[in-house]
Amino acid sequence: MLFKRKKKYDSKFQIGEFVSFHQDGDLKHGMISNIKKIDDNYLYDIKVGGEATWLSKDVAENKIIKIEGDGIIHKK
């Protein structure tokens, strides 16, 4: 069996982290499922939704915000 080794990136957000981002004028919430680095820019694939999940691909790092448990938006 061959296993593909996952790349480790020194990005602000990590796989499995819960984040929020704006898309089509709405604030979406989801979990990061993949990270890519293209030309020194990080792009994230984010799984969004509950029962009917969908994948938002190639979300730029500067578009992602982190909402902590205190309800305050923290930009990393």
pLDDT in tens, 36-55: 999 989 999 999 987 889 99
Q: Where are the domains positioned within the chain?
A: 18-70
Residue 31 main-chain phi, psi, to 5 deg:
-120, 135
* Residue 33 near residue 46 (C-beta atoms within 8 A): yes
pLDDT computed for residue 48 by the predictor = 94
Query: Helix (H, G, I), strand (E, B), or coil: what is residue 59?
Result: strand
The answer on pLDDT for 66 being more than 90 is: no
Helix ranges (H only) for 1-76 are none
Distance CA 59, CA 9 (A): 16
Q: 61: helix, coil or strand?
A: helix
